[in-house]
Chain A
Amino acid sequence: HYVSDMFLCQYACILSLYSCFLRHARSRNYVSEAEMCKLESVPLDFGDYHPLKPITVTESKTKKMNRKGSTSSTSSSSSSSMLDPLSSVLDGTDPLSLFAAAADPVPTTATMDSTRKKRDKDDSPAVGSDFEPWSSKRGEILARYTTTEKLSIVSGSFSRKAATTGSAVSEKVRTRLEELDDLEEGSQKELLNLTQQDYMNRIEELNQSLKDAWSSDQKVKALKIVIQCSKLLSDTTVIQFYPSKFVLITDILDTFGKLVYERIQSMCVDNRVSLPDNFSPECVNDTAKETCLNWFFKIASIRELIPRFYVEAAILKCNKFLSKTGISECLPRLTSMIRGIGDPLVAVYARAYLCRVAPIKYLFTTTCFCLLFQQIHGDTVQNQLVVQCVEIPLYLTLYSPAIDWILQCIAYRAPEILLTEMMERCKKLGNNALLLNSVMSAFRAEFIAARSMDFIGMIKECDESGFPKHLLFRSLGLNLALADPPENDRLQILNEAWKVITKLKNPQDYINCAEVWVEYTCRHFTKREVNTVLADVIKHMTPDRAFEDAYPQLQSIIQKVITYIYDFSLLFSVEKFLPFLDMFQKESVRVEVCKCIMESFIKHQQESTKDPVILNALLHICKTMHDSVNALTLEDEKRMLATLINGFIKMVSFGRDFEQQLSFYVEARSMFCNLEPVLVQLIHSVNQLAMETRKVMKGNHSRKTAAFVRACVAFCFITIPSLSSIFTRLNLYLHSGQVALANQCLSQADAFFKAAVSLVPEVPKMISVDGKMRPSDAFLLEFLCNFFSTLLVVPDHPEQGVLFLVRGLLNVIQDYTWEDNSDDKIRIYTNVLHLLSAMTQEAYIYHVDKVDSNDTLYGGDSKFLTEINKLCETVIAQILDHLKTLGKEETLKRQSQLALYFFNTILAHGDLRNNKLNQLSVNLWNLAQKHGFADTKTMVKTLEYIKRRSNQPEMSHFTDLALRLPLQSRT
């Protein structure tokens, strides 16, 4: 402490002594320096590698090959098995033999080769990703088939009876069977008047109790629960809910099937080696086989048909433990078992379940619908519908999920011939609409598209009273959106379809259909047809404000139109496009649609445009988006809207018609005044416009262009104050000032700079960056350095004093309240020294074309130089004062850094031939090292630099300097 104090006293004396001396800026010849410092030019080799090039990762796609080879076997087996029903249909035999044919055991199993065995393992790997799994259909069905009617459920009381300890097997069996009987007869209660939600909860409870029973080893109870659940599927009261009920209950069955399968599998674990995935029945041990067999015996004795069917189907997979051909032998039997189910709806869903549990390859002829339809129109069903007040069209839609699923399973990767044949069968059945609809939703789109005309014909022939026709057209439209029909048929298809669609009375039906067909129209036709279609939609949706209920569909229509017509001049020449937009009267939807359109515009518009139609329409759209902004709009939303509008503004160009361009910007400013980023963009655009003008005039403005440029500058000057972010304003002032200067608008530039100077005191300590509060000093420092560099070339105003702006800025910096523990102010002062030394040069390092800077104005006048030196003095005094205040223990590190910084400044810009300055630099060097906070490496490097410089001409005094600078070793 003592030593440092001593030093400080001495040092302060020296400093005060020097501060009254003039500071001598080194005179510089920028041109020769640049010459000297220039890097040796090396020819660049633009090879493959470039550090900024985006990295492209080439991913080698591993294609799933698991179906390899199986398709062929599928096709062969299917064609052979399909042969029978085909011929029988052609023969015109009665449906009885048809069914007999359908029931023929699938003749593929005998030729099970090893690859097939592998696929036996699980049915899921046998289907590719293009197969829509049940899980995705599930939610859809649950959401679609709901009811408000009261439901009832029959449930047993699952109280566990006292465990039977009887030793004899027979006793055990007997008690178990008794328990089963119990379930069937007594101990049940019917819960009535359940709402749909209650019902679902109840089923979930059952599902849970199944799992509980299983995990607590009450297998009989588990079986009872499952039987009881599947019994619910024979109940068709509240028929609208049936599809959902099916979904819920088969979930339980699936759980059960999985539990049984896993249990038997776990029994096969031998010496802790579990069964391989593709095991053969020989690997299964006797206990496991016996257990498995026991399950099947138990299920075979279930009294009622429907539970027996469902429970056996649920554990169908377990047949693998018994024999290789187990599943394929079981399936035909289970299939024919369904014939005993009288209710056609229940029967169809039973088939659907079978298709779900059975591996797809076995499912060629397991289904037949022929007689189904006869039954639907039979008395029993009709009576039931009358009782439940359900109309036929609604009733028929209940079939869709099941038939869709069945057909999807059958048609999956099926050969063309099979599909053709199935279509033929549909025709034979008198074009049953229900089946037709499912065919269209299950078969490959390409297949359907190629036969569109046939399908239209069939749809037309359908019975009016049955399945709703608009659903049929919708399904067809969905296919046509995915695949293309033959070239020649295209227009006819549209005409035929639209003829029907336009006649739909119910707006919801209409729009659901139209939504789908718009895509087809956009895909294959010109704007004329699209226009017609849009006009038709408007015509249908306007009466009674029907569009209010159809916003999602209308939105999707717009989406489709802009996906296909992305040439915006073409799009807006579709007359009905804008009237169509007018249907979106709810603001949130309207803005969404506008956003879509703008996104598409930004994505697809390649060249800038001045097309008045596009401009008008898009301005209107942007205005809509802008007007949706209010106090509650989220920042993200605002940013997004602003990005979209900016994208649009950037794409507008009137070419050489600069005045019109400016007036466009003026108009845009008045329109989008609430979105700051848009205003910022406009200022930049106008600045760019000014510079563009300058470029066109090659720097020599005529009277007219000068006036225009001033107009641009004025635009910026009055727009900037309306922004709220202070740094945006500062930077824009500076930027616009630079543009004004470049365009020889000196007084305007002064005005910008003055505005910037007077704004600096308002800079807050903390600013919000990306939603977080950050100290502003780094931003301010950066801005000020930038500002000072600009000020070098700004000529002094003849009526204001010398260096008016620099002084003004220095005063502002002086008065600004800086952070107590920051050296920013001093760093800026040190940087000001750079500026001042640059200002004393005879020729400045840079100029603005056609603007005389102070070097020319003053021509090295000594008064001017004196003024600069005075400024230097003041600034140095400030710096030294600050260095002195840093002499405290805790700030010594900062002192060392600042001293070195200052030393470097003097080294670079000062004329060290001046003794006093030389002495000052030596003192600073010592000060920097004094307390051991200096980085030795830096110091060594600095010294090396000085020595190297001393070799250059006129730099010999550096040699002396180097000798006077001791290096302090750490030790």
Chain B
Amino acid sequence: MEGSVNLQLSAKSVGVFEAFYNSVKPIQIINSTIEMVKPGKLPSGKTEIPFEFPLHMKGNKVLYETYHGVFVNIQYTLRCDMRRSLLAKDLTKTCEFIVHSLSQKGKLMPSPVDFTITPETLQNVKERASLPKFLIRGHLSSTNCIITQPLTGELVVENAEAAVKSIELQLVRVETCGCAEGYARDATEIQNIQIADGDVCRGLPIPIYMVFPRLFTCPTLETTNFKVEFEVNIVVLLHDDHLITENFPLKLCRM
């Protein structure tokens, strides 16, 4: 049984070479081996061999939840090797297993967020004058999210001069890898969910609803070496190809 955190530096943050050479060493969380069967002969036919492993962490390491990301991967595997006599090849089989941590103690404090998006609230705009007028209001039920529960909220296009083309929710992972040379922080998209298609009715609340995908999300994680955080972007695409984005950091936990 083996469990490890694989960190990779993106080519953007560190040089191509470092990235290529994978300068950050994988952090082993767990590693143990047991002998299941003593040397000998297996009877013909199907043989089932029961086994069990205690999950003893290495040193004072923490058992993180399974997570598949781009620059951070937390993976647990079982490998079974069967050594055979000289003439036959050894047999190997590997299998991933998923680790979910126990519910975190304490009560989750809901943290609702209301938001209003107008041309004025936007940052990062070159020519504010050329923007069509719009007013989008809404709220997220909570930015502290339970990973098994969907992200919910509502969004109302109160008015918009230009027709709305699409409104989407973009789930983003922010992975930070720290090492001796410094750290690299990268945000990449996990999934993109369209919640409105076409020119929606003005003044009609559109539900915000997104299920967190399994494997690709885990409770927000902060360690000394690396961090895994999540954010959601609300993206409004107007018919004249204006793209309006509002970003909300999330905190995921398992309850």
Contact = CB atoms under 8 A, between A and B. Distances in A.
B198 A342 contact: yes
Contact of B96 (A99, A168, A342): A168
B203 A234 contact: no
Nearest to B204: A339
A170 B205 contact: no
B196 A342 contact: yes
Contact of A341 (B75, B94, B198, B203): B198
A263 interface: no
B213 A305 contact: no
A336 B207 CA distance: 6
A506 B195 CA distance: 45
A354 to B, nearest CB: 14
Interface stretch (A47-55, A202-210, A371-379, A622-630): A371-379
B211 A342 contact: no
B207 A380 contact: no
Contacts of B164: 342
A170 B74 CA distance: 12
A100 B199 CA distance: 20
Nearest to B201: A371
B199 A303 contact: no
Nearest to B156: A96
A371 B200 CA distance: 11
A170 B6 CA distance: 15
Interface stretch (B32-40, B186-194, B224-232): B186-194
B163 A380 contact: yes
Contacts of A301: 191, 193, 211, 213
Interface in A296-351: 296-297, 300-301, 303-306, 308, 333, 336-337, 339-343, 346
Interface string A360-371: 000000000001
A167 interface: yes
Interface in A365-410: 371, 374-375, 378-380
A342 B214 CA distance: 30
B68 to A, nearest CB: 6
A169 interface: yes
B246 to A, nearest CB: 17
Contact of B203 (A96, A305, A306, A380): A96
A305 B197 contact: yes
A99 B205 contact: yes
A167 B97 CA distance: 12
B95 A333 contact: no
Given A170-B68, A297-B213, A342 B94 contact: no
B209 interface: yes
A374 B200 CA distance: 11
Interface string A194-224: 0000000000000000000000000000000
Given A167-B95, A301-B191, A337 B201 contact: no
A713 B77 CA distance: 113
Contact of A304 (B93, B197, B200, B209): B197
A300 B217 CA distance: 14
Contacts of B163: 379-380
B204 A95 contact: yes
Given A94-B203, A380-B163, A170 B197 contact: no
A341 B197 contact: yes
A44 interface: no
B230 to A, nearest CB: 15
Nearest to A299: B211
Contacts of A296: 211
A57 interface: no
Nearest to B194: A305
B138 to A, nearest CB: 13
Interface string B73-96: 001010000000000000001111
B200 A340 contact: yes
A323 to B, nearest CB: 14
A95 to B, nearest CB: 7
A550 to B, nearest CB: 41
B201 A374 contact: yes
A31 interface: no
Contacts of A3: none
Given A94-B203, A167-B93, A167-B95, A342 B197 contact: yes
A339 B200 contact: yes
B197 A306 contact: yes
B167 interface: yes
A336 B167 CA distance: 15
A169 to B, nearest CB: 5
B95 to A, nearest CB: 7
A34 interface: no
B215 interface: yes
A110 interface: no
Contacts of B68: 170
B55 to A, nearest CB: 19
B194 to A, nearest CB: 4
A95 B203 contact: yes
Contacts of B198: 234, 341-343, 346, 380
Contact of B195 (A168, A173, A305): A305
Contact of A340 (B195, B203, B213): B195
A722 to B, nearest CB: 78
Contacts of A100: 205
Contacts of B209: 333, 337
B206 interface: yes
Interface string A95-124: 110011000000000000000000000000
B4 to A, nearest CB: 14
* Most chain B CB inside 10 Å of its own CB: which residue of A96, A100, A305, A346: A305
B197 A303 contact: no
A322 to B, nearest CB: 13
A333 B211 CA distance: 13
A429 to B, nearest CB: 15
B109 to A, nearest CB: 25
Nearest to B210: A300
A375 B201 contact: yes
11 contacts: A167-B93, A169-B96, A303-B192, A304-B194, A308-B193, A333-B209, A337-B209, A340-B207, A341-B196, A342-B200, A380-B163
Given A96-B205, A300-B211, A339-B205, 17 more contacts: A167-B93, A168-B94, A170-B68, A234-B198, A296-B211, A297-B214, A300-B210, A301-B211, A304-B194, A308-B193, A333-B207, A339-B200, A340-B196, A340-B197, A340-B206, A341-B198, A342-B199
Interface of A: 94-96, 99-100, 167-170, 173, 234, 296-297, 300-301, 303-306, 308, 333, 336-337, 339-343, 346, 371, 374-375, 378-380
Interface of B: 68, 75, 77, 93-96, 98, 156, 163-164, 167, 191-201, 203-207, 209-211, 213-215
Please name the 6 residue pairs, one residue from A and one from B, whose CB atoms are nearest each other, closest first: A342-B198, A340-B196, A300-B211, A305-B194, A342-B199, A380-B199
